[in-house]
Amino acid sequence: MNVKKVSKQLLDDGFNIRISTYGSSMFPLITTGDKITVSPGGNFVIGNLIVFTRNDQMVCHRLVRAFEKGGIKYYQTQGDSFFGLDEPVTVDQILGKVKRIEREHVSPARRILIFIHPILKFSKLNAFVIAILIKLNEIFRLQNSH
């Protein structure tokens, strides 16, 4: 049994899970190597970080919209550092919501971004700022590698 199936089974059985993250879609709040604790489903509120499955992947994004269409409830999410919305998911795709974020080795620049994150999180400004910072980081890495 793979980790995703075990995680889903534990959540379905009412247990919390703690997993390592990978990616930058939720930067600066969450990035590769951070640990998140996910608790089983429940009442989802706009602004919650939810974990859901898509194309056999576990994804953690912010809930930005909930709506009903044809008698089915849909939830729409977005990565904090993305411009566009994700495709809507249904409750059967949602594994749970993030209850805790653990970070190690947080750089001073990321500390500042985390501090101002509440101001940026619901605007396209966050995605714009993050895109610029990621590009600058790539440029500095290239310069330092030579």
Question: Greater confidence, 15 or 108?
Answer: 15
Asked if pLDDT for residue 121 goes beyond 90, the answer is no
- Distances, alpha carbon 67 to alpha carbons 73, 76, 140, in Å: 6, 8, 43
Question: Is the backbone peptide bond immediately before 40 cis, with ω within 30 degrees of 0?
Answer: no
Domains annotated for the chain, with CATH where assigned, are 3-145 (2.10.109.10)
Prediction pTM value:
0.78
Residue 90: its pLDDT value, please? 95
Q: What confidence tens digit (pLDDT) does each residue in 43-85 have? A: 899 999 999 999 889 999 999 999 999 999 999 999 988 878 9
SS (H, E, C) 16-38: CEEEECCCCCCCCCCCCCCEEEE
